[in-house]
Amino acid sequence: MLHYAYYVRSVRGKLSASLAEPFVVEGDNWFPLPAAKKLSWSDIQIVLDTEQRRLADAIAGILERKTQPSLKDGECFDILLGIRCHAVCHAGQIQLIKKLRPAAL
């Protein structure tokens, strides 16, 4: 979830051409387990929810013409399609893991 939240944050930054605030965990993309263990599972869920809400707000600002995007329309579409596909990919992985794990777990 932290990996995906990080990418949601980076998409928001690319749309607005502004430097996003520091991420909740040091590093980028894949985070070492000791760093991630500083957060509880509910904390991680809050991080993802917050990043997704911020991205939705940024998109709304662009659509309502309150914010000027840093990318052309086609580029905005591509980057937003990419982050959605990223989410679908990870959702598929989770479903596969759930199917493959022993029923006793």
pTM over 0.95: no
What is the spatial distance between Cα 19 and Cα 55, in angstroms, rounded to a whole number? 14
In a domain, 24, yes or no: yes
Residue 42 within a domain: yes
Q: Is residue 15 part of a domain?
A: yes
pLDDT value of residue 4: 92
Does residue 86 fall inside a structural domain?
A: yes
Find the mean pLDDT for residues 7-34: 82
Question: CA-CA distance, 60 to 50, in Å (whole number)?
Answer: 15
The verdict on residue 82 lying in a domain is yes
For 52-94, how does the pLDDT look when each residue is reduced to its tens digit (9 = 90+)? 999 999 999 988 988 888 888 899 999 999 999 999 998 998 8
User: CA-to-CA distance for 51 and 38, rounded, in angstroms?
Assistant: 18
Please count the structural domains in the chain: 1
pLDDT band, very low/low/confident/very high, at 34 (cuts 50, 70, 90): low
Position 37 in a domain = yes
Under 8 Å between Cβ of 15 and 69: yes
In a domain, 105, yes or no: no
Domain containing residue 23 = 2-100
